[in-house]
């Protein structure tokens, strides 16, 4: 079903990767995505030290016998992590797939991962950075459009533009990310030249997603206009759900507030509090414009399988009408 170079490269059933989400993409959720036939991606930045990270890898492996990946974040962080140490753990634990995300992948990390037999994919927001990742040895590249949720960069390029540009410029397979939440989006990405997609926001509305039901219900009622970019003043722009906390950040940026004032709102403790207690306005959460396409909370396996089946139906219909 929808066999591409991405399904072959990762050994997965569907050309779908579950987007790595901070405070969310832990072992249980990652395993649910992988068990559904997609590729789950463990957020290494969730774990404060090498041993907790090691145990998370082992826990994920205990929960699934399917392929999964580990994300290494290259974005600025309040609590910086030495990714070189985490690469040690990845190699020691025999992780076979790694995703890096950020502007420019560090050559030394790529060299070590590739020498260890790891399949590497890199997520970025421009073709220029995608070409750099390919030159450094990336086996696949994700291009992330500005309509997506999370770190969208400052270029403002959409998925519709980035994907065909990247597919035309790169030799390695391309994954499309940003604003994709159903089978129509998957079929469109394949038509544009991608060989798979990365989805994040759609997976927030799943039974297995470890966020509070209050937040899931709020997102289920959100429209495509209910997101906003923030942190542009810090050159770390990200798209989030437009709640009271996001609006507060926008106001702080507008009056050139201090970094400490901004971090008090966007910091991880406030986001975790929102996820755990259901106080939907105390923190910010990454959110794509595709939130307007989502209304139902369903099991992960149904979401993944449904996307693939819908994409196949769309492709068949186009072939029949053509």
68-73 and 97-101 beta bridge pairing: parallel
Overall average pLDDT of the 62-85 stretch? 85
Residue among 164, 120, 124, 111 nearest 138 (CA) = 120
Overall average pLDDT of the 167-174 stretch? 98
Residue among 187, 127, 129 nearest 161 (CA) = 127
d(CA 54, CA 63): 15
Cβ distance 101 to 71 under 8 Å? yes
d(CA 297, CA 45): 27
Helices (H), 25-157: 27-35, 50-63, 83-92, 107-115, 127-136
Task: Look at residue 307 in the predicted model and tell me its pLDDT.
Answer: 97
Q: Which helix (H) or strand (E) holds 175?
A: strand 174-177
Mean pLDDT, the chain, rounded, equals 94
Q: Is the dihedral of CA 89, 90, 93, 99 positive or negative?
A: positive
Overall average pLDDT of the 305-321 stretch? 93
Token reading at 35: 């068990």
Any idea which residue has 């774990």 for tokens?
47
Residue among 101, 307, 288 nearest 179 (CA) = 288
Q: Measure the N-to-C terminal CA separation of the chain; round to a whole number of Å.
A: 21
Tell me the pLDDT band of 76, cut-offs 50, 70 and 90. low
User: 3-state DSSP helix/strand/coil percent for the chain, to nearest 5?
Assistant: 45, 15, 35
The SS3 call for residue 222 is coil
Which of the 8 DSSP states describes residue 171?
S
Task: Look at residue 322 in the predicted model and tell me its pLDDT.
Answer: 63
Cβ distance 25 to 300 under 8 Å? no
Overall average pLDDT of the 189-211 stretch? 97
Domain spans in the chain, listed from the N-terminal domain onward: 5-208+294-321, 213-289
238-241 and 150-151 beta bridge pairing: antiparallel
Task: Look at residue 82 in the predicted model and tell me its pLDDT.
Answer: 81
Predicted confidence (pLDDT) per residue in 113-128, tens digit: 999 999 999 999 999 9
Predicted confidence (pLDDT) per residue in 283-292, tens digit: 999 999 999 9
Q: Per-residue b/e over 189-208, b at no fewer than 16 CB within 10 Å?
A: bbebbbbbbbbbbbbbbbeb
CA 196 to centroid of chain Cα atoms: 13
Measured in residues, the chain has a length of 322
Which stretches does DSSP call E strand in 208-265? 227-230, 238-241
Q: Over pLDDT 70: what percentage of the chain?
A: 97
The region of weakest confidence among 76-85, 145-154, 239-248 is 76-85
Q: Is 255 exposed, middle or buried (0-12, 13-18, 19+ CB in 10 A)?
A: exposed
* The listed CATH number (1.10.10.60, 3.40.1000.10, 3.90.1150.10, 3.20.20.70) that belongs to domain 5-208+294-321: 3.20.20.70
Kindly report the pTM of this predicted structure.
0.95
Whether residue 1 is predicted with pLDDT greater than 80 in this model: the reply is no
Cβ distance 134 to 172 under 8 Å? yes
Any idea which residue has 């991962």 for tokens?
113
Whether residue 77 is predicted with pLDDT greater than 70 in this model: the reply is no
d(CA 43, CA 51): 14
Q: Which helix (H) or strand (E) holds 196?
A: strand 196-199
Whether residue 75 is predicted with pLDDT greater than 80 in this model: the reply is no
């Amino acid at each position: 079903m929808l066999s591409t170079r991405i399904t072959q490269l990762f050994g997965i059933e569907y050309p779908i990767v579950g987007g790595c989400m901070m405070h969310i993409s832990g072992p249980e959720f990652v395993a649910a995505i992988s068990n559904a036939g997609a590729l789950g991606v463990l957020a290494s930045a969730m774990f404060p030290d090498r041993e907790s990270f090691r145990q998370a890898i082992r826990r994920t492996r205990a929960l699934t016998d399917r392929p999964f990946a580990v994300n290494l974040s290259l974005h600025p962080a309040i609590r910086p992590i030495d990714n070189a140490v985490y690469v040690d753990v990845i190699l020691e634990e025999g992780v076979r797939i790694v995703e890096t995300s950020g502007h420019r992948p560090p050559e030394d990390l790529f060299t070590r991962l590739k020498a260890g037999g790891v399949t590497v994919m890199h997520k970025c927001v421009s073709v220029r950075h995608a070409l750099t990742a390919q030159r450094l040895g990336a086996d696949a590249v994700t291009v992330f459009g500005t309509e997506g949720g999370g770190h969208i960069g400052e270029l403002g390029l959409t998925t519709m533009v980035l994907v065909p540009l990247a597919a035309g410029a790169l030799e390695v397979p391309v994954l499309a990310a940003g604003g994709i939440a159903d089978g129509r989006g998957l079929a469109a990405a394949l038509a544009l030249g991608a060989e798979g997609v990365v989805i994040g926001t759609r997976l927030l509305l799943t039974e297995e997603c470890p966020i509070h039901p209050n937040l899931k219900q709020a997102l289920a009622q959100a429209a495509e206009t209910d997101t906003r970019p923030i942190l542009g003043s810090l050159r770390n722009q990200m798209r989030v759900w437009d709640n009271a906390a996001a609006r507060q950040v926008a106001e702080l940026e507008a009056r050139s507030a201090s970094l400490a004032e901004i971090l008090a709102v966007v910091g991880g403790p406030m986001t975790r509090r929102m996820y755990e207690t259901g106080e939907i306005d105390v923190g910010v959460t990454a959110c794509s414009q595709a939130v307007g396409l989502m209304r139902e909370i369903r099991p992960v396996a149904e979401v993944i399988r449904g996307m693939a089946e819908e994409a196949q139906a769309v492709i068949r219909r186009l072939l029949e009408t053509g």
